[in-house]
Structure formats: structure tokens, C-alpha cells
Amino acid sequence: MLAARRGELEALGHLDSAFAPMLAPILSLSTADGAVVDALRRLPPGLVPAVDASALPDVAESELARWGVPVMPVIGLTDGERRLAAHGAAARAHTGRATVRLRISQDRAGPDATTTAIERIWRYAQLAPEQCDLLVDCGDVCCPADVRATEPRVRRVLDWARRHAWRSVSVVAGGMPPALSRLPADEPVRLDRWDWLLWQRLASLGVGYGDYGVASAVPGTEPAGDRLPTVRYTGDGAWWVYRWSRRGGRGDERVADLCRTLVSAPHWPAAGAGYSWGDHEILRRARRGAGAGSTTNWLAWSTSHHLAHVLDALRRPAGAGAGRPDAPPAPRGRAPRGGEIRRAG
């Protein structure tokens, strides 16, 4: 679940094409200008995003079928009949598929009422259950209490979901705090990935994994923070947040110092710059091979590494050190022995 900002789109644009079929990015749009549509056209071959246009006005210009870009519509349980018909047209025009997003914090009707809402979607969008991926969106999960409260609710939703012939079912949650400005600067700060822990408790049910990247699931929050150079570096079960004010006012010096500290840390992957495009860019700054970049660049590097780390973790058999950042990724373009590749949303 990614906001369609320049940083996230740049990270997706640099994704290795061998990984594209394993990833199903879901982009939340706040605008449908030409720059966003052009960025969608530049995504790697085989990477077909789902687009949540619920924040856009329900007018003809917002209909995904008119964009001329292969996308999957994201359908909400309360979408109107006109929008449902437009989403169905978009699905048939491109992939023949759609994503139904069920938000457990908002869509809290009982199982029978939820089934009625789902059947209404299928009827007006003219889609069959087998054409739809169900996304169970848990929103913000930021502490152990949230995990304990959310898990049984998700299990009840998954029990209901088994009544229907969904193409797939995935659970998505976000665990990044909405603001980082209160964290200490000039030292790496460890933050637990409670969203990852929640999914690990549910993975045995056969559900796919999804998260909010390195951004918060809280609506209206921005990853830019307080404008200090910031990298959100995903590790095994935790993020390492680097906010840097060291070495005075020059941005390139601060970013170089941040990146040198990161590449010498235990959670820097053994594959180094080869782990992802974002890691390559971080190492370039550590070696003073490029400028400081901007908040957009720092978000892009962080997101790029996050995608590589999550795909690496999901490709590894259970119990084989899944998610360890110090282990090199499985060979690109091949599934590792001993496990099914799960799709990451």
C-alpha cells in the first residue's frame, strides 16, 4: 500500500523486472494528473499496480479505463453504483481482475451484511469472485496491544472470507509511527515492525502479506518528517531510523555521514549495493559519489530497500532465516527451493 508520491513511484520504477511478478503494489491516489499516469507507464514490465481512486471525485476523468495504462481497480465496500460500474469496466479493459479492500476499522458490519455488500459489488461491477483479490486492511498496528486486539478481528474476517471463492486473500497493516520528529537524531533508532509480527501470526492460514512500505498507515501523514535527512531502513522484524543533523549545516556532509554510519552497521546486507537500487544509492553517498538528495530521494531509497527486504523474506522457506538482512537475496528470476512465493501487496 503506497501513496503515489514521487519517492514511492521512483522506487517501483527501479524494481528489478525479475521481481515484478511477485509484487502487487496498491497505489492510493490523491490526484490523477499527467505526471502520475506517466509514472505508471514507466513501471517495469510485468508490474501491474492496483489503484485506489476513492479520494478522487467520481467523474469521468477519474475512471481508470480512460487512462490507457494497465491497472487493477481497488473497490471499496461503500462505492456507489456508478463507480462500481466504472471499476468493472477498468478491470475488463486491462487485467480482468480487481482488488476489494475491506478496512476492518471502518467496514464493521456482521458477516451477513458484509456478504450483501460484496454481492452488490460483484453485481454492479459485473465481476465474479474468482476475478477479485480480497485485501483485509488492518490500518495502523503500532504496539503489542494493537496486535492482540487486531488478530482475532482479522481471524473472524478470514473465517467469513472462506465462504467465497476469492482469487486470493491478503492481510495488510502498517506499523511505522506517523511522526518521527521526536526520535533522537544522529543515532540509529530501532522501531519494531508490529505489522510484520501480526502477519507472522496469521501466515499459517495461507494469507498473502501486505504493508504500507516505510510510511505510516495513519491517513494524512507524510514521511518527510522534520526535513532532517532521514532513512527508514527495514531489517528483520524492525526498522532502523536514521535522522541526521551531525556535521553542521551542509546537506551533503550530513547525508554522507548518515550513509557511512548505515553501511557500517550490522543490519547492512552482505550483498551491499547489489541488494537493491536504494542500497546502491546509499553506498554512493557514503563514498561521496553523489549529492545529498532530497526528502523524495531518501523516501525512494528507503522504499526500494524495503521492497527488496520483504520479497527476500517471503521467498525464503520458513525457519531458514527469513528476513535476515545479512543474508544475500535468492537468485533473481528463480524461486528458491522449498517454498511457495507469496505475493507482497
* pLDDT at res. 247: 59
Average pLDDT over residues 186-192: 95
- pLDDT for 125 beyond 90: yes
Tell me the pLDDT band of 222, cut-offs 50, 70 and 90: low
Residue type, 184: P
Task: Please give the backbone phi and psi of residue 231, each rounded to the nearest 5 degrees, phi first.
Answer: -125, 130
Whether 340 is in a domain gets the answer no
99: three-class secondary structure by DSSP: strand
In a domain? residue 320: no
Euclidean distance between CA atoms 280 and 102, whole angstroms: 37
pLDDT of residue 259: 96
Range of the domain at 285: 2-315
Cell of 53: 481512486
Cβ proximity of 235 and 241 under 8 Å? no
Give the mean pLDDT of 153-162.
95
Q: Per-residue pLDDT for 338 more than 50? A: no
Task: Give residue 50's pLDDT.
Answer: 94
pLDDT, residue 181, reads: 86
Q: Domain for residue 323, yes or no?
A: no
In a domain, 327, yes or no: no
* Greater pLDDT, 62 or 101: 101
Q: pLDDT band for position 223 (50/70/90)?
A: low
pLDDT at 19 > cutoff 50: yes
Q: With contact defined as beta carbons under 8 Å apart, do 29 and 73 qualify?
A: no
Name the DSSP letter for residue 344. B
Q: Which residues on adjacent β-strands are paired with residue 210? A: 172
Name the 3-class secondary structure at 241: strand
What is the mean predicted confidence (pLDDT) over 244-253?
74
pLDDT at 322: 40
Q: What span, in angstroms and rounded, lies between the C-alpha atoms of 282 and 301? A: 7
Residue 106 pLDDT class (50, 70, 90 cuts) = confident
pLDDT tens-place string over residues 254-289:
999 999 999 999 999 999 999 999 999 999 999 988
pLDDT exceeds 80 at position 10 = yes
pLDDT at residue 32 tops 60:
yes
Q: Name residue 292's amino acid.
A: A
Beta strands in the chain (DSSP E): 2-3, 26-28, 50-52, 72-76, 98-103, 132-140, 168-174, 189-192, 208-211, 230-235, 238-243
In a domain, 326, yes or no: no
- What are the pLDDT digits (tens) for 39-98? 888 888 889 999 998 888 888 877 888 888 889 999 999 999 999 999 999 999 988 999
Q: For the residues 219-235, what does the mean pLDDT come to?
A: 79
Closest CA to 19 of 339, 309, 311: 311
As a whole number, mean pLDDT of residues 151-161 equals: 96
Between strands 238-243 and 189-192, the pairing is: antiparallel
- The per-residue pLDDT for 226 is 62
In a domain, 71, yes or no: yes
Q: Cell triple for residue 337?
A: 527451493
CA distance 17 to 78: 35
Distance, CA of 62 to CA of 67 (rounded, Å):
8
Confidence band of 17 (pLDDT split at 50, 70, 90): confident
Residue 175 belongs to some domain of the structure: yes
Task: Let me know how many helices (H) and strands (E) the chain has, helices first.
Answer: 9, 11
Q: Is 153 left (phi over 0), alpha (psi -120 to 50) or beta?
A: alpha
For 185, phi then psi, to 5°, come to: -100, 160
Closest CA to 236 of 314, 150, 173: 314
Rounded distance, CA 290 to CA 281, Å? 8
pLDDT of residue 248: 59
Round to whole Å and give the CA distance between 165 and 182: 46
Q: Which region among 183-197, 304-318, 330-344 has the lowest average model confidence (pLDDT)? A: 330-344
What's the one-letter identity of residue 174? G
Alpha carbons 16 and 19: distance in angstroms, whole number: 6
Note the pLDDT of residue 335: 27
* Residue 322 included in any domain: no
Mean model confidence pLDDT for the chain: 86
pLDDT of 170 strictly over 50? yes
Q: How confident is residue 317, by pLDDT bands cut at 50, 70 and 90?
A: low
Whichever domain contains 166, its CATH number is 3.20.20
Domain total of the chain:
1
Residue 159 neighbours by CB distance under 10 Å = 11
Q: Are 269 and 233 in contact (CB under 8 A)?
A: no
Span 303-332, mean pLDDT? Answer: 65
